[in-house]
Structure 1
């Protein structure tokens, strides 16, 4: 009994010493076309505050953030909005690429921080 307790304590101490790996913030998976220039994806990693999150395309900021959904689908050009439905736990990102191309095929990487 004492041996297993010491082993558990030693294991816990070892895990505590391991460095914390950063969360991968690249958006992965298929972007779903909503209408017009607007694409959506469910964000599957934690965000501190939705209002403060910023979207990047190949390292360049897009925006402005919190744009009107109608503007995203009609105008595009990097507009985006991050929101959470009342019955959902994961936020949804609605966005457009900087040049209104399909983010599934344009070869760019998107990151949300």
Structure 2
């Protein structure tokens, strides 16, 4: 029973990442369009924030990406999965955030606000 409960908790944390209030604070930094297409459902925001994931440290980034003050995720997603599956997945890689909107719409035209929190 404990193992099942733990497994469900891990899945929920991977999907939603943690407390929803991360995206309600005054420390959010806007990601403003235009966003470059990265193919499929993926778009790129150029942010220049240190601590991005790397091949050697694929879960290093603590960046949280928000859409209209709601946390997107999961983070640390393979870029191919962001392009193909979308649904709010994102990756902080190099000087960029590769991300998809929560409903796979184009973030350049969907009238939502995107931001990030560098923890």
Same fold (TM over 0.5): yes
The separation in 2 between residues aligned to 1:70 and 1:56, in whole angstroms, is 20
RMSD after superposition: 1.7
Which protein is richer in strand relative to its size? Answer: 2
The separation in 1 between residues aligned to 2:28 and 2:74, in whole angstroms, is 23
Structure showing greater radius of gyration is 1
Q: Which residue, out of 93, 100, 104, partners 1:96? A: 100
Matched, 1:59 2:69: yes
Kindly indicate whether the alpha-carbon contact (under 8 Å) linking 2:77 and 2:89 is maintained by their aligned counterparts in 1: yes
Matched, 1:111 2:92: no
The separation in 2 between residues aligned to 1:55 and 1:23, in whole angstroms, is 12
Q: In the alignment, which residue of structure 2 is the partner of 1:49?
A: 51
1:92 Cα offset (Å): 0.6
Alignment of 1:1-113 (within 5 A): 25-44=29-48, 47=49, 49-50=51-52, 51-84=61-94, 91-113=95-117
Which whole-Å deviations, capped at 9, do the CAs of 1:73-96 have from their partners, x for residues lacking one? Answer: 000000000111xxxxxx111000
Q: Please report the TM-score for the alignment, with normalisation by the length of structure 2.
A: 0.65
Aligned residues: 84
Gaps of 5+ in 2: 1-25, 53-60
Tell me the SS of whatever aligns to 2:66. Answer: strand
Gaps of 5+ in 1: 1-21, 85-90
Which consecutive aligned stretches of 4+ in structure 1 deviate over 3 angstroms post-superposition? 47-50
